[in-house]
Amino acid sequence: MQINLSECIAPSFYDVHRKVRDNAFSSFWLKGGRGSTKSSFAAIQIIKGIVEDNQANALVLRKVDGTVRKSVLEMLLWAIEILGLENSFDHKVSPTEIEYLPTGQKIIMGGLDDARKIKSIKLKKGYFKFLWWEEAEEFAGMEEIRSVRQSTRRGGDAFIEFITFNPPNDPAAWVNAASDEAKSDPDAYVHHSTYLDVPAEWLGKQFFKDAERLRLRDPLAYQHEYMGESVGRAEQIVFFGKWQEKEFITPPVREMYQSRFFYGADWGFAQDPTALIRCFIMHERGEVNLYIDYEVGGHGVELDELPALFRKVPESDQWKIYGDAARPETNSHLRNHGFNCESAPKWKGSVEDGVEYLRSFNNIYVHPRCPKIIEEFIKYSYKVDKHTKEILPIIVDKWNHYIDALRYAMADYIKGEVSILDVL
């Protein structure tokens, strides 16, 4: 059966649909804010998949069973209707399931508040090709997800899992961390969508008015609720209110404080990126501001690729680079290729001292061509007590590779206790 999807899924999901169709990945992490249509996309893909594969069944999960009928069941019934398949499906609410009448294939829905029920599910025909975790942020973590995977991913050749969620406001929440890790998983695909990717007539004028009103009144809440960003509570974000993205032209060196650039590098490979940052200080209208004008980096950067990569940052082979002291052989390799690369000084409390020093600037301006450190400034956060929600004076050791490079770049000023007031 041919099903026309062009009027059913938003254009931002066309490429995701092709990847699902081609079984390019087994796990699809679909995150976004209000109105992003990520859940309706998953529902349509499951209905379509059931029709096209007579061995396919689906298991759809929420954390709490009582939320199933007013969420995923309604969404799947909507998908059946919009695809014009009402006469081919039937459903019941106890237990909550949908049956494809021509073959008896099923979509079974439930909650993990009683995991034993999930493990006891038996199918008369086929296997669970589709697994959908709706509102995934509500689940306990990857251990819970792995347990269900191990119980259900059996007896078939192809498996497709949808993990749909609104990123929690805490950047350290498990689902945010897991989706970040999934970006480096060759069998997983991470997609971020917002209401701005959706045809306006699907959501209506009022939806866009409400979004714009919140954007003007509370930009942080707007970023979280509508743009699906893990911005955290303002006081939880380490550099909240201290930085902004800004277009600027780098001035001649003679106009900078001490007429100099600062360069810092952090080393990574598979899990963590290699990162190089360039910055400089300006004294402007009674303020002392830090400017970040270039970054380069990436995962899987080989040693012999480093010199060419770093030379993409202007004059990086002319100024001193402070590299992470944990990899002296990498610092040495760069010296052998014409860079003045030294191991950055470290000391007890150097992270906290570095953060305090960077926060002492009136403003930190980041050029738009530096998206990685912008992402880290958004997510770099303090830990939160999961029971009391108290913000703890402990920085989460994540989203900090380009920020670490920035600290290394300024290490002499931080360790030497050079106050920004000395610039005046």
Question: Is the residue at 231 inside a domain?
Answer: no
Q: Are 289 and 188 part of one and the same domain?
A: no
Question: Among 138, 172, 203, where does a domain finish?
Answer: 203
Burial class (CB in 10 A: 0-12, 13-18, 19+), 213: exposed
Q: What is the DSSP letter of 381?
A: B
Q: Are 266 and 403 part of one and the same domain?
A: yes
Enclosing domain of residue 144: 11-203
Question: Is the residue at 405 inside a domain?
Answer: yes
Res 118 pLDDT > 70 = no
Catalytic residue at 135? yes
Residues 83, 122, 189: CA angle, nearest 5 degrees: 55
Q: Is the pTM of this model over 0.95?
A: no
Render pLDDT for 366-409 as a digit per residue (tens, 0 to 9).
999 999 998 899 889 898 887 888 889 999 898 899 999 999 99
Q: Which residues does 288 contact at the CB level (< 8 Å), separation at least 6?
A: 257, 281, 282, 361, 362, 420, 421, 423, 424
Least confident among 228-232, 299-303, 341-345: 228-232
| 51 vs 83: CA distance, rounded Å | 11
CATH of the domain at 379: 3.30.420.280
Q: Are 189 and 277 part of one and the same domain?
A: no
Question: Is the residue at 238 inside a domain?
Answer: no
Give the model's pLDDT for residue 419. 60
Render pLDDT for 173-220 as a digit per residue (tens, 0 to 9).
899 989 999 999 999 999 999 999 999 999 999 999 999 988 888 777
Q: Are 197 and 255 part of one and the same domain?
A: no
Which of 97, 135, 137, 225 is catalytic? The answer is 135
Give the model's pLDDT for residue 222. 87
